Amino acid sequence: MPTITPELISRFDVPGPRYTSYPTADRFVEAFGEEDYRHALAQRQLGTSLAAQPLSLYVHLPFCESLCYYCACNKIITKHHERAAPYLAYVERELDLHVKHLGGPGQSVSQLHFGGGTPTFLNDEELADLMAMLRKRFAFAPKGEYSIEIDPRTISAERLQVIRELGFNRLSFGVQDFDPEVQKAVHRVQPAEQVFELVAAARRIGFDSINADLIYGLPKQTPESFARTIAQMAELRPDRIALYAYAHLPARVKSQRHIKTADIPVANHKVAMLSHSIAAFEEVGYVYIGMDHFALPDDSLAVAKRQGRLHRNFQGYSTQPDCDLISLGISAIGKVGATYSQNAKDLLQYQDMLDHGHLPIVRGVALSHDDVLRRAVINALMCQGRVQFESVEAAHLIDFRATFASELARLRAMHDDGLVHLSANAIDVTPMGWFFVRGIAMVFDKYLQARESRAQYSKIL
């Protein structure tokens, strides 16, 4: 593999989207509201191709007992656990409105994810009540993927057993880093032994899949310290590993103002961390899925990668096809047909809209034909690392080279740098190109033509 030069690092050390959607969430507009969303649901009932697909559900549970400085999620910091029950009552009201506009209960669901916040802020009874309200209204597929995010500091082996009995078959542990100094710097101290014990318990209990999240680029990290964390993660050997680049946006995320910019690793150190992580995980048998995910060879994500049926959604890479996503709770983002929608981020606004009988949707976007086309190209780059011109032309009735003439011209420099290979009928991301795949995808993002619009994104490296 060619050398990643300092000049190349400097050129790509710029802000850019992660492309869990296209258009990205910052392109949602307030002109899109409840009526537009209801229209999308009505179109779904009329028999679009996605109407026959099972739904995906997401529930945002925002409460956390303590503040992690790096976290950019929409969260409510409180030790008052009694706040959970009223919140769930509003989620149920929102759920009933969705079901009404979906045409009634009984829709099939193949994927469920509880995120936050800290979902296990809820007690066992509250988790059971939430699952019961969902099962009452939807038909859960026997072989679906039902996952919940776990903060190791808030859980016990006994609670993991309860979670399994509620029907969850996948866990995602928030590890971030095993180094004690890094943990102190981000205000999230959790001994490695605690994580190892919980993962061992989860395996005994019989969860189908265990994921662990890591973040590189955190304050106080060095290539050497992160290599130790990678070695510990390889020893832990979860089924999947998500390796995210820290997004430092203190102007937008107040909690990140606790982090000193001088403590954040520089770009070439972050590249070294990612490069070592990929090599180390592949050495012990993991498949590099792309950008920020690894999986063991027999995991469904690795199988989907080999078979060319990988997808990308708001949780990252997924095996699920392009199904509609119904999302509940504050700030939750949903997808129905060729639309995206987002709920109110503020709890009081969320509650007020539901009090008045409205879905709490405050913004969104209806995709144009060009948006759908560019989303397909970006997803192909991010998921398969390959764009075949003929398949895009057949699906979207275009001439690829004519439609994307300027983009292909811009990719020529990346071809010369060894990041992509341009042929007569395809674009292929090279092994080195995966380090910069966000930057490659940005070439096809029409909303980024104005450079000043990039400031709100995290850096690519």
| Known binding positions for S-adenosyl-L-methionine | 58, 70-72, 116-118, 149, 176, 188, 213, 247, 333
Q: Which residues touch 321 (CB under 8 Å, ≥6 apart)?
A: 53, 309, 311
Query: What distance in Å separates the CA atoms of residue 426 and residue 94, rounded to the nearest whole number?
Result: 45
**Known binding-site positions:** 58, 64, 68, 70-72, 116-118, 149, 176, 188, 213, 247, 333
* 8 A C-beta contact, residue 141 and residue 109: yes
* 8 A C-beta contact, residue 335 and residue 324: yes
**Known binding-site positions for [4Fe-4S] cluster:** 64, 68, 71
- Residue positions counted in the chain: 461
Query: What distance in Å separates the CA atoms of residue 125 and residue 102, rounded to the nearest whole number?
Result: 28
CA atoms within 13 A on the CB side of 253: 21
Rounded to whole angstroms, what are the CA distances from 278 to 225, 243, 268, 290, 432? Answer: 16, 10, 15, 10, 11
Cβ density class 21-57: b for 16+ within 10 Å, e for less: bbbbbebbeeebbbebbbebbebbeeeeebeebbbbb
The angle, 0 to 180 degrees and rounded to 10, between the axes of the packed helices 84-102 and 347-355 is 50
* 8 A C-beta contact, residue 257 and residue 246: no
Instruction: Name the pairing type of β-strands 107-116 and 170-176.
Output: unpaired
